[in-house]
Amino acid sequence: MQDNLDLIALAYDSFLSMFPLCHWYWTKYTDHIIRLSDAHKAVKVYERAVDSTPFSTGLWVDYCCFGMCFYEDPSDV
pLDDT digits (tens, 9 = 90+) for 12-64: 999 999 999 999 999 999 999 999 988 899 999 999 999 999 999 999 999 99
Cβ–Cβ under 8 Å, residues 37 and 3: no
Model pTM score = 0.86
Nearest to 63 by CA among 31, 21, 38, 32: 31
Which pLDDT belongs to residue 77?
Answer: 66
Number of neighbouring beta carbons within 10 Å of residue 27: 19
Which pLDDT belongs to residue 38?
Answer: 86
Which pLDDT belongs to residue 59?
Answer: 95
